[in-house]
Amino acid sequence: MGKDVIIACDFASREQTLDFLSQFQQEKPFVKIGMELFYALGPDIVHELKQRGHKIFLDLKLHDIPNTVEKAMRVLSQLDVDMCNLHASGTIAMMEAALRGLTRPDGSRPLLIAVTQLTSTSEERMRRDLLIEQPLDTVVMHYASNARSAGLDGVVCSPLEAAKVHEVCGPAFLTVTPGVRFADGDVGDQVRVTTPAQACLLGSDYIVVGRPITAAADAVAAYRRCCAEFIG
């Protein structure tokens, strides 16, 4: 599996999304569609971007009882996306059910990636709100290892955790990593950031990049810079 840059299309409308993507004449970036866009526009936006030749990471972070997740994943597998995700905290049984639902009759399926602990959850909140006493890092690695046991393809994590995830789950287990910023760029609300070049050195398989590309004066140039730093 080659490394790739995934652009987070965090837009509120079809027009904004298509206006943004129409700037890319020579390349077809891998794009991430999140809850905002999917809940507003539904499967139509997935079909439309797929038809335009983009690979799609559908970032809906499913979390429910195994039977419900299995049936929901069966529907998502028919959308022909390339990657989708769920919360590892839904348990190994839920992740196994998701994988069954996602697998098409011909045996093919999109990549399935687990969210471990959200980066918005601090160790203190995890202890206070969720009554989880273990260190955050231990919990993240445990969830990653559960995802691996369930047969998933990888996890969403920080580039700073990518090497350890590979140590625990093996080099082929994918790390999909947001929190990427150019060395001379705005950090915004991200806390622990790395550059695309650092993410590459740390072993990330895919970087998810939003505002450094979507808010750039020249989005195509920013995307190319990202690819050059990360993929080489």
If binding is defined by CB under 6 A, does position 219 make contact with ligand C5P? no
Q: Least separation, in Å, of the C-beta of 181 and ligand C5P?
A: 7
The answer to whether 213 touches 222, Cβ cutoff 8 Å, is: yes
Question: Using CB under 6 A, which of the segments 63-71, 98-106, 131-139, 209-217 binds ligand C5P?
Answer: 209-217
Q: Least separation, in Å, of the C-beta of 151 and ligand C5P?
A: 22
Question: Using CB under 6 A, which of the segments 101-109, 139-147, 207-215, 224-232 binds ligand C5P?
Answer: 207-215
Q: Least separation, in Å, of the C-beta of 11 and ligand C5P?
A: 11
If binding is defined by CB under 6 A, does position 16 make contact with ligand C5P? no
**Annotation says 61 is catalytic:** yes
In 3D space, the residue among 80, 138, 90, 131 whose CA is nearest the CA of residue 114 turns out to be: 90
Q: Of residues 56-95, which lie at the interface with ligand C5P (CB under 6 A)?
A: none
Task: Quote the CA–CA distance of 51 and 150 in Å, as a whole number.
Answer: 32
List of E strands, 70-200: 83-87, 111-115, 154-156, 174-177
If binding is defined by CB under 6 A, does position 178 make contact with ligand C5P? yes
Identify which of residues 150 and 156 has a Cβ nearer to ligand C5P in the complex. 156
Identify which of residues 110 and 179 has a Cβ nearer to ligand C5P in the complex. 179
Judged by CB under 6 A, which of 49, 210, 219, 230 binds ligand C5P?
Answer: 210
Judged by CB under 6 A, which of 7, 10, 136, 147 binds ligand C5P?
Answer: 10
DSSP state of 188: T
Sign of CA dihedral 173, 178, 230, 34: positive
Q: Which listed residue (3, 50, 61, 164) is catalytic? A: 61
DSSP secondary structure string for all residues of 15-82: HHHHHHHTT-SS---EEEEEHHHHHHHTHHHHHHHHHTT--EEEEEEE-S-HHHHHHHHHHHHTTT-S
The answer to whether 120 touches 179, Cβ cutoff 8 Å, is: no
212: helix, coil or strand?
helix
Place of tokens 């409308």: 13
Active site residues: 61
Return residues touching ligand C5P (CB under 6 A).
8, 10, 34, 118-119, 156, 178-179, 190, 208-212
